[in-house]
Structure 1
């Protein structure tokens, strides 16, 4: 547990939506293609058209990629507050484009992602209460994977929610 500090945070400190594997498809497109429940068509330089995605935060299907945001499970500002402020630019880029664990980035409705903003589970939870355990698991995995701290309110919320998720097993591979 540690206090958080947003001093010096700028979203641009986390270079995101890069094409890490140089296949012409940036991180946003990679997540969209991986999570589509009805595959979109892809044209040109990975222009995505059509398709359907399930936004689990509110248990709804979204048609077309334009209605989606790719959510950083632990928002960039929250990561900064929790330890990423001491990372190198490359480590922050790796975090912002983490395709090494499917729980790090998730396609959700733009509306729900924007209501979340930079808030942690002490301040915001998905609107579908049936997804609480999944959300808490994914949050905990990303924090653990990247060695990020939790502030006291966040830690209390995670512990309280975990009590109702006793059947959830959490495993992850450390990223750094």
Structure 2
């Protein structure tokens, strides 16, 4: 064999798990334990590879797969053999959250719908009206009502109890049903709570 023929044969060989692990750690920046968890299951590994081809954020995709994705498999709510959605659909869901088109607090709702129906994330967002609208007047109205309805926590916050801020964030997010990003809610809430 010539050197060129040997190189061609090497290129044609499938990537070995150890090589893939090394690539995940060095190129994608995954922690060794995360890389191991992904490569331990060939189906999950192939799914991950396809998802990052669709959305080139390897760490973000890995975090979702190792978190909510694996949790649903472990709960028996889905299996790799009977997935109703494609890797590209999961990639799209993650991208929607990263680009603030949806509130990341709605990830689980959308993901469960994808598991159950096979619908694409955009279709789920349309059907359940989960798109971020960033209507600052709607956010202000919700926050104004929260402040009016909760004078004691407002007093606590203004007296320096910062932990009360989380209460207002949670209530505002719940009232807005994820149709504003946490950053928008936080900015308006901080402004309004200052009085």
- TM-score, scaled relative to structure 1: 0.29
Q: Which has the larger radius of gyration?
A: 2
Q: Specify which structure has the bigger relative contact order, considering alpha-carbon pairs within 8 angstroms and separated by 6 or more residues.
A: 1
Instruction: Name the structure where strand makes up a greater proportion of residues.
Output: 1
